[in-house]
Amino acid sequence: VGSVLLDVTMSLDGFITGPNAGVDLPLGEGGLRLHAWMTRPGPRQGIDWHQTAASEVDARVKHELFARAGAVVMGRRSFDVGIGPWADTPFPVPCFVVTHRAREDLVEPSGTFTFVTEGTERAVQRARAAAGERDVCLMGADIAQQCLTAGLLDELHLHVAPMLIGDGRRLFGRPGAGHIELEPTSVIQSPHVTHLRFRVVTQEPP
Ligand X SMILES: NC(=O)c1ccc[n+]([C@@H]2O[C@H](COP(=O)([O-])OP(=O)(O)OC[C@H]3O[C@@H](n4cnc5c(N)ncnc54)[C@H](OP(=O)(O)O)[C@@H]3O)[C@@H](O)[C@H]2O)c1
Q: Which residues bind ligand X (CB under 6 A)?
A: 8-9, 16-17, 21, 26-27, 34, 74-78, 81, 98-101, 119-120, 139-143, 146, 169
CB-based contacts of 59, cutoff 8 Å, min separation 6:
52, 53
Rounded to a whole number of angstroms, the minimum distance from the CB of residue 17 to ligand X is 4
Nearer to ligand X, 141 or 200 (CB): 141
Conformational region of residue 20, where left means phi above 0, alpha means psi within -120 to 50, and beta covers everything else = left
Nearer to ligand X, 54 or 81 (CB): 81
Rounded to a whole number of angstroms, the minimum distance from the CB of residue 138 to ligand X is 9
Rounded to a whole number of angstroms, the minimum distance from the CB of residue 65 to ligand X is 11
Residue 86: other Cβ atoms inside 10 A: 20
Nearer to ligand X, 3 or 17 (CB): 17
- The residue whose Cβ lies closest to ligand X is 75
Give, in order, the Cα–Cα distances in Å from 130 to each of 69, 144, 166.
11, 19, 38
Q: How many CA atoms lie within 13 A of 121 on its CB side?
A: 4
Q: Which residues are bridge partners to 25 per DSSP?
A: 22
Rounded to a whole number of angstroms, the minimum distance from the CB of residue 200 to ligand X is 18
